[in-house]
Homo-oligomer: A and B are copies of this chain.
């Protein structure tokens, strides 16, 4: 047994540029002093890359051990590798001009600014999410879904919409997918799942009981379980065979967390869907075409 913080997130390879995102994702599970280190690192990659362990420890008013621990948590074997990644990040930032529109939304912002800021933030969320997605986990999840007999998807609150979105899409390519909002229904259905089935839990916080419970039941009945969450260390991952991490953007008073987490979740869901559609192309393509055809009749005659 080595240290307390050995795992970091699931066997993710050292992140290249998704560092700021990773910091935000993991920040809640960090201790105070580790947060200080993470903050310094995310705030000034170039500056920190120039420092030794000791230097960074002094700068943040912590100890060398803490710096190393933070590096580990972020997914690197040690500080040396974090430092290399930092240098890379700095170089990237150097070449790509920083837009610097990162400012928060204020109460008196003109509407045009609101549009610009929201669009920018959601873009950022997409970049972070894409960078932070573990493609191995994603691939495994896709395989499981593609081979599934039945798919149950759990999500409450804002995540319930994402669950519905995934269910709708999968249904359209002929998979038996159901989005479950009601916790009771979720659990009573979860007991019916078997090894050929897949259960998906969607929760930003990673600790939504109403969603964890059905996933646990599904897990214990032998179904393959997938968690889509912003907290890869949250309780939900306990019962998840595959964990897909969504990114966490900083939130504020006027922009609740639900906004960016939703964007992030939807991207993951889209990736799952396209992945499954690829694997089941033979049946998916005609199904998509058929559903498109069916919809045409619901529209009034085209104008123009």
Contacts and interface: CB of A to CB of B under 8 A. Distances in A.
Interface in A89-129: 89-92, 94-96, 105, 107-109, 111-112, 114-116, 118-119, 122-123, 126-127, 129
A209 B274 contact: no
Contact of A298 (B105, B107, B208): B208
> Can you tell how many copies of this chain the complex includes?
2
Interface of A: 16-17, 28-29, 49, 83-85, 87-92, 94-96, 105, 107-109, 111-112, 114-116, 118-119, 122-123, 126-127, 129-130, 133, 135, 138-139, 142, 157-158, 161, 164-165, 168-169, 172, 205-210, 212, 231, 233-235, 253-256, 258-259, 262-263, 266-267, 270-271, 274-275, 277-278, 281, 285, 288, 292, 295, 298-304
A46 to B, nearest CB: 9
Contacts of A212: 300
Contact of A275 (B94, B114, B256, B266): B114
Contacts of A28: 302
A135 B161 contact: no
